[in-house]
Structure 1
Amino acid sequence: MYGGHLLNRAIHSFVSVLSCAGTALSPLSASHAAADGAPSKVTFAAIAKRYLQRRADQLTPAGGGRRASDASTMGGELARTFAQEAVALTRRRDALRLIDGGYRSAEVEVTPGALTVDGSRARLDVTEYTELFFASVAADAPSDHEAYVLPHDLEFLRSGGVWRVTTDHARVAPGGPPPGTRLESPPPAPPTPDDPAPRPGDGPPADTRRPADGARGDVPMATQGLGAREKAAAVWYAEKYWYHHNGAYRTYAQDCTNFISQAMRQGGWRFIGSGFWSRKDKTKWYYGSNTHTTSHTWANAEDWGIFARDKSHRTARLGNVWYLQPGDVLQADFDPGSGKDHSMIVVAWDRRGERYLDYHSNDTWHRKLSYLLQQFPHARWYAHRT
């Protein structure tokens, strides 16, 4: 389970080394590069990395340890807003500590993209790859950290000969939960094409209180559910493609349910239906060559839930999120009453009963269930036994 991630990490580190090798530049170094008339992509990437590292550190004991040395990486409104965000992130850090110790450290890498420089202003696209290491790790835990990928459009301003980050447009995908280092609310999920009216959630949400029976419980099996081997195949798929998406499928702006459908397909779910005319039918589930020949149930969270549980009986409702097992699916309604926004798959659990989830929108690996519940206390959760 862990080997695929190590390969992803090795590839990403190799790219980062090629982009930024030997360039752990401070803003002072950046001012020297600018003075030579040639501010480079590497220069701005180094500043971006220090800014994002400082943000991630707020969730760890390092906290404000980098505050003095990195104060000059930010300027303008970003410097002012981050001072407030740092306080909120520190509160989140302390809340996670109460659960199981929280995070002990963070490692941030950035891969630079397009750069434009216009006089004293610059703009750089970067992809952030952050690993948050757990302070306490169960002996049978699937990994010692979680990871996420998040694209950013960063704006820089040169003042007094020094380049600073002044604006961070984090491209948080609609419907999905922002990473733990972000404070934004999940952007609302877009409506299904040609069917814009919001739909109610399907019955009562699952309980989030942790039961005293080891969090396994007596739970139902789906009438048309997957066997152990099929669920393992779905988990394998999620672990392989959580970050480097499978090119055999389209990637949607809100990609979470598309990703879950792919994993279920790998686990043995068969297509029902095809073509343009049945794409809105909640009893159908299929992928086509374009969005107009793909069922709404394939990539829309609300419709997927209706098909999976009510129409096809391929999943069964779980009354408590802590009954989820590897291969099961958890859905979230972040704006209660508007229908489900987000889908994710459980890929592992440990002897303490913790669940670990993978999902797209935003690409995340081994997020703890307890941490999600802490970050989004007002969400409604729908747990599916697959």
Structure 2
Amino acid sequence: MEIVTITEARRRLDGALSSYEANIEYVTPARALGRITAKAITAVHDYPPYRKSPFDGYAICSHSGNAYEVIATIGAGIIYDGPIAAGQAVRLMTGCAVPDDCDTVIPQEYVERRGNRIEVTEAIPPGSNIIPKGEECRTGAVIIPAGTKLTAGALSVAVGMGNDRIPVYARTKVLFLTSGRELVMPGELRHEGQIYNSNAYLFKPLLEQYGGEVTFYHVSDGPEQLEAEIAAVRRLARDKDLIVSTGGVSVGLYDTMPQIYAALGATPLYDRITMRPGSASYGGVIKTNGHQTLILGLSGNPSASFNAFHLLAVPILRRLNGERNSDFPHVTCHLGDAIHKKNPVDRFVQGRLTYEQGQPVFTPNTTLTSSALLGLAHTNALAYIKKGTPPLPKGAPIEIMLLKAVP
């Protein structure tokens, strides 16, 4: 068994990813939210693509008088392409294309209208109040760089500039496995000694949140089913980029996940990590016919696997999906409650970051065991406590990884 630090585990996983080449696909804007641009997105046309009015008003030629005859009224999306002589005006609405013969727009508030005649009541310099074609950008300009995570605002820009197919990195194909005969799914009869499969509802959504296209399968740890389950996992793993499993990687008699991975031809990268919680862990890689599948075997205990997932799986998912920055932001804050644990190895403590009088405060969860579950409902940060650090009193400074935004 090869035991490594969390830093070494990440280094080995990064090394296994060094030859990975992400696939690129073109998707509709409706499917692009949250994806990472694989190429720069450019403007298909000038923006705006025509001269337009910034408000409701009257388009005229450069005027020498104050009175005009209104010869037409147009709304947004309508073009007036007839001639407009001196002394004539076209009534138009906000955003309308300004007729070619006109070089000035008079706001409607600056005129008095009687029938088809208007009189300008304020002095307007010639050439005023027309938004020029290409004011914001010209055709071919880069509007969204490669490597950008597409927000609603970014998609609005891409569509507004004429893009109907968006180049993004293909979603990471993930096989997610839970393990153990003690696990039952919601709605199934639970016998004494069994628990509900909460990990299935923790990690499948998290994998999807971080860009994974997830296939789920449950593996029992029954020896009599091992061969059939090896065959099933082999079939499901065939085209996957990543396998994430929870459970079955410790030293128990029925911890069969390493056997399954060995049968699939995996090369182990490590067998255990010196951290708490989350030391039970397996890293490996399968290389078959030019295709590579990375493996992360996590503990079956919820808190332990939650920590390892964020420390190991999330950076991998972000990298596979094309994100440039794979790390969580770090914040230095103060402890809201004491942490009484000794730290013979690096420790990662779950809790909640809040702000009190403008200062960041980290409050650890009440239960800090590897099997703790309830605290996951409000955890938004992990505190890092270095090996050898003594128990920490309330108010002590501490460094945390912020997993999600503080409301």
TM score, norm. by length of structure 1: 0.22
Greater strand content: 2
In our comparison, the structure showing a higher alpha carbon Rg is: 2
TM score, norm. by length of structure 2: 0.21
Greater helix content: 1
